Structures are given as structure tokens and as C-alpha cells.
Amino acid sequence: MDAVTVTDLVVDRGRRRVLPGLTFAVPAGQVTGLLGPSGSGKSTLMRAIVGVQRVRSGTVTVLGRPAGSPALRDRVGYVTQAPSVYADLTVRENARYFAALYGKGHREADAALTDVGLGGAAGQLVGDLSGGQRGRASLACALVGEPEVLVLDEPTVGLDPVLRVELWDRFHALARAGTAQLVSSHVMDEAARCDRLLLLRDGALLADTTPAQLRADGRSQDLEEAFLTVVRAREAVAS
Amino acid sequence: MTSATHLSPRLTSTTAARVLRQLRHDHRTIAMLLVLPSLLLGLLHLLWKELPSIPGRPDTFDRVGLTMLGIFPFVVMFLVTSIAMLRERTSGTLERLLTTPLSRLDLLLGYGLAFGLAAALQAVVTVTVATTLYDLDVAGPVWLVVLIAVLDAVLGVALGLLASAFARSEFQAVQFMPVIVLPQFFLCGLLVPREQMAGWLEAVSDVLPLTYAVEALQEVGRSVAATGTMWTDVGVVAGAALLALALAAATLRRRTD
């Protein structure tokens, strides 16, 4: 079953057309990677899915309802690229506030902090944390709502490799429990960890594939190289 | 669109508690909120202390000081709120909140409640200091002065929330203070009695909410018992604050470019 369906989505930001007409779906119970270089429209697309992006035309349907519907707000979790937590609150106070907004209690807040490895830093002010820790605090504030759809904009930037692996294990555990996840990244080495891949370039979908399929199409075990081969093949066809 | 008006008392109070918690971590701001109005009022007290009073006219400090008890919380809360809201916007927390079950009105009322409580504490301190240390004479009950001061603070919060919707940068947000606050201060009847103003200026002052706040304080200063005019003024200020909150909720866009 598809958790998110996007049909002919067109988004303008200022005078620039960022998304010229996208169509794809994000299935439930899987981690879908949204990969593309900086400026390819990943964040804009994610904002459209959580319902805070002004949309020119097209439809975005999440769990059977128009994106941003009031009924979706406790079923969709969103983590922005820059950590969006309160710097002048402690990690625990942040988690408890967002937990309360989703109708959850202190227990869930503490569990979410443990999940992202911040149990030991719960009493610290977010403003005193490192960049990576802030990002994890921000992630915990979305996990705490136990959403059915989780939209994560570059959640692993600046994390040490051990933590990165732990977080990906966490994402896969959530997927097994049925959560649909859309995770953006601009580095291809994250692509291998996704169940499915959406490759975005200049707002256009270059490929809707899986890591295995991309390796086969690009005739390389290295996903970065496979991606380049696919892009070049496309551009050769276009010109 | 309907979610702007879907109210949840639980989420409103949760948000108010969060805002107060943020304040609690900022000790210097708390100290300034509580002490600064009293110090400034003390300066005014010293300024007029040596001047002989004119028989039959109220003491200048009694008149100006009492009005200031309403103007300080209005100005301070306007500034604090505009900055707080701008921080929500630039830190990305506002965008995040808009994706949660928290409605826009819950968020704004949460701010109003939190800063209203802070203002109540501030008013109790300032009014107590003014009436004991500075011998400010108020004919009416002191609790009414506190009530009006808190209402003025809530009006400041509401206008601050509304103004912050139009501020795109910190520089703009700070400059909304003179734009929104100073004309109301000039025309409220403290500098020049309203009936001595040019007709059109008086008409302008008729539609500015601070005018009614100041008139309410002057009524309490003059009359032992609460007057009907005072209650009407209180109602106008409260209504203006609610209107500003509703407008702020309507102008806060969930979807942006």
C-alpha cells in the first residue's frame, strides 16, 4: 500500500519553477531514499508532503488524505534539514513538549531520546549541544509521535559512522513495524541502505528504482558510478 | 483553514508552559522583566519629586506614573513577543509546529497566556513598589491597576504576534515597535489631553486601543469605586487584544513559498 502518492506536482518558489511536475509514490513499511544534489528540490518536495509548501498544481495524498489535512497531523512526522528544536530548552523539555503535542507522555519522550542516543544528555540545554546532537534531538522530537509517515530531510548529516549505522538500523526497525519513511540525502553512500530510491535532479525524477536495480542499470557495484552512468545515458538520449 | 480555529485548551496550556520554561532558563530576562519597570518608574519619581505641586491639580508623578504602569507592560511584551515569534520562524520550529496537531490559535493563545502570566507578576511587583516606595496615589483599588496592566500586556502580546507576521528580519521586527507603539503613546492623552487635540488627531486616538487603557487607568486614579467608563475601557482593550490575536492567526500562513 502506498502511504504517499504525488501526482503532477508543480511548485514555484519565487519566479523559479523548482518542481516541474513530479509523479511517484512512497510505499508503507519501507525506507525510500530521496537522493539528489543540493538544490535539486528535495526539501521543497518534502515540505509539500508535510503540507507547508505552497503548491502551484498537482496533488499530494498522504494516507488517503490531502497533504497537510488536520487529521494527518498526528500521523506524519517531519524533521527539517536544520535542527528545529528550542535551543533555550533542555533536550528532555523539547522531547516532552513535542510528545505532548502528539498526545504522548513523558515515557515516550524518554524512550525517543534513548532511541537517538541522547538519553545521557537529556538534561542539557540544546544550545550547548554539538551540531550532530542537535540534529538527533530534532529527530527524537519527530519519533516521539510514533508517526505512520516519517519525512526526514538529511537526518544523518554530521553524524559519526557508528551513530549513523545505529540510526539506519532504527529506520529499518520502524519500517518493519509499518512506518513509511522518506529520507533525503545528497550522498550516494546512504542510498545502499534504502529499500527504494528516488533520484532527483533539477526537480525532475531521474529514476524510481531500488539499489539493486540501479546497480544493474548502471552496470556498477558502486552506486555513485551507477548513478552517473544512468544520468549520462539519459542526457545522451535527451540531446 | 478550519484548523486555525480548532482550539485545544490542553495544547494551549502545554505551549504556554513551554514558553514559560524557555523564559525560566533565561535568568537575566526574568530579572529585567520584574525589576526594570520599577527602576524606570523610580527615575520618574525622582524627576518630579522636588517640583512643587499645583493646588487642586493631581501630582504630576501620580498622573504620569500611573499611566506608565499600563504603558511599560504594553511596550515590553510587544517587543518580547515579536522577537520570540521571529525566533520560532527563523529556527524552523514554527514550520515544524504547523505540521503537528497544534492549531495556529493554540500557539498564539499559548504565547498570550505565558506572557500574560509573566506580565501579572511584573505588574504586582511594579504596582507594589510604586504605591509603597514612590508614594503613588491611586484613589481606586490597586488590584484594578494590576488587572489593567495585565490587559495592556496581553494587548502588547497580541499586537506583537500580529506584527511579527509581517516582519521578515530582525531589523524589521525591531522597527515595528516605534511604528505600532509610539503613535499610540503620543495620542493616548498623556502628553496632550485628548480634548485639546486637533479633531482628526482625536478621531485617530479614538481607534487606538492604548487610549482606552490609559483612560481606564486615569479612571482608577480618580475614583474610589470602579466606574462604568473604566469597565467599558477594559472591555475595549480586551476586545482589541482578541481581535489582534484572531488577525494574527489568520495572517499566519501554514503554506509558504
The answer to whether residue A76 neighbours chain B at the CB level (below 8 Å) is yes
Contact A101 B97 (CB under 8 A): yes
What's the confidence (pLDDT) of residue B235? 97
Confidence of residue B1 (pLDDT cuts 50, 70, 90): very low
pTM for the model stands at 0.90
Q: What is the mean pLDDT of residues B108-133?
A: 94
What is the SS3 string spanning chain B? CHHHCCCCHHHHHHHHHHHHHHHHCCHHHHHHHHHHHHHHHHHHHHHHHCCCCCCCCCCHHHHHHHHHHHHHHHHHHHHHHHHHHHHHHHCCHHHHHHCCCCCHHHHHHHHHHHHHHHHHHHHHHHHHHHHHCCCCCCCCCHHHHHHHHHHHHHHHHHHHHHHHCCCCCHHHHHHHHHHHHHHHHHHCCCCCCHHHCCHHHHHHHHCCHHHHHHHHHHHHHHCCCCCHHHHHHHHHHHHHHHHHHHHHHHHCCCCEC
Contact B255 A83 (CB under 8 A): no
Measured between alpha carbons, how far is residue B72 from residues A48, B62, B152, B214, B242 in Å? 43, 15, 9, 12, 20
Confidence of residue B117 (pLDDT cuts 50, 70, 90): very high
Q: What is the mean pLDDT of residues B131-145?
A: 93
Residue B6 sits in which domain range? 2-251
Place of cell 487529521: A71
Confirm if A33 and A173 have CB atoms less than 8 A apart: no
What's the confidence (pLDDT) of residue B9? 93
Which amino acid is it at B20?
L
What's the confidence (pLDDT) of residue B70? 93
d(CA B95, CA B253): 10
Residue from B25, B100, B106, B254 to probe the interface with A (highest A Cβ count within 10 Å): B100
Tell me which of A180-184, B61-65, B238-242 is least confident.
Answer: B61-65
Using a CB-CB cut-off of 8 Å, the residues of chain B touching A90 are 25
d(CA A209, CA A216): 11
Contact A125 B25 (CB under 8 A): yes
DSSP bridge pairs for A34: A184, A198
List all residues 6 or more positions away from A147 whose beta carbon is below 8 Å from its beta carbon: A74, A75, A76, A77, A179
Q: Bigger pLDDT: A235 or B73?
A: B73
What's the confidence (pLDDT) of residue A162? 85
d(CA B169, CA B190): 32
Give the relative orientation of helices A131-143 and A91-101 as an angle to the nearest 10 degrees: 20
Residue B17 has pLDDT above 80, yes or no: yes
Using a CB-CB cut-off of 8 Å, the residues of chain A touching B22 are 86, 88-89
d(CA A73, CA A190): 28
- What is chain B's Cα-based Rg? 19
Task: Pick the closest to residue B138 from B219, B193, B57, B72 (CA basis).
Answer: B219
Confirm if B181 and B75 have CB atoms less than 8 A apart: yes
Terminal Cα distance for chain B, rounded: 17
Measured between alpha carbons, how far is residue A17 from residues A89, A204, A210 in Å? 38, 11, 28
DSSP per position, A193-220: G-SEEEEEETTEEEEEE-HHHHHHHHT-
Confirm if B64 and B44 have CB atoms less than 8 A apart: yes
- A vs B, Cβ pairs < 8 A, gives 84
What's the confidence (pLDDT) of residue B4? 45
Residue A163 C-alpha cell reads as: 551513530
d(CA B125, CA B228): 27
The answer to whether residue A54 neighbours chain B at the CB level (below 8 Å) is yes
The CATH H-level (homologous superfamily) assignment of domain A2-75+148-238 is P-loop containing nucleotide triphosphate hydrolases (3.40.50.300)
d(CA A201, CA A36): 6
The answer to whether residue A46 neighbours chain B at the CB level (below 8 Å) is no
Contact B99 A101 (CB under 8 A): no
Sorted by where each begins, the domain ranges of chain A are 2-75+148-238, 83-146
Phi and psi based region of residue B59 (left: phi greater than 0; alpha: psi -120 to 50; beta: remaining): beta
Q: Is residue B244 part of a domain?
A: yes
The answer to whether residue B22 neighbours chain A at the CB level (below 8 Å) is yes
Q: What is the mean pLDDT of residues B170-195?
A: 90
What's the structural domain count of chain B? 1
Dihedral angle at the C-alpha atoms of A125, A129, A131, A133, nearest 10 degrees?
Answer: -90
Confirm if B11 and B106 have CB atoms less than 8 A apart: yes
* Residue % of chain B over a pLDDT of 70: 98
Contact B100 A73 (CB under 8 A): yes
Measured between alpha carbons, how far is residue A204 from residues A159, A228, B8, B257 in Å? 29, 15, 41, 19
Using a CB-CB cut-off of 8 Å, the residues of chain A touching B15 are 97
Q: Is residue B121 part of a domain?
A: yes
What's the confidence (pLDDT) of residue A48? 96
What's the confidence (pLDDT) of residue B67? 93
Q: Averaged in consecutive runs of 10 residues, what is the pLDDT profile of chain A (239 residues)? A: 93 92 94 91 94 94 94 93 94 97 96 92 95 92 95 85 87 94 87 92 90 91 88 80
The answer to whether residue A44 neighbours chain B at the CB level (below 8 Å) is no
Q: Is residue B151 part of a domain?
A: yes
Buried b (16+ CB within 10 A) or exposed e, A54-72: ebeebebbbbeeebbbeeb
Residue B130 has pLDDT above 80, yes or no: yes
Q: Is residue B166 part of a domain?
A: yes
Task: Pick the closest to residue A171 from A41, A49, A33, A75 (CA basis).
Answer: A33
Of A51, A82, A100, the CB nearest to B14: A100
What's the confidence (pLDDT) of residue A210? 93
Residue B219 C-alpha cell reads as: 479612571
Phi and psi based region of residue A17 (left: phi greater than 0; alpha: psi -120 to 50; beta: remaining): beta
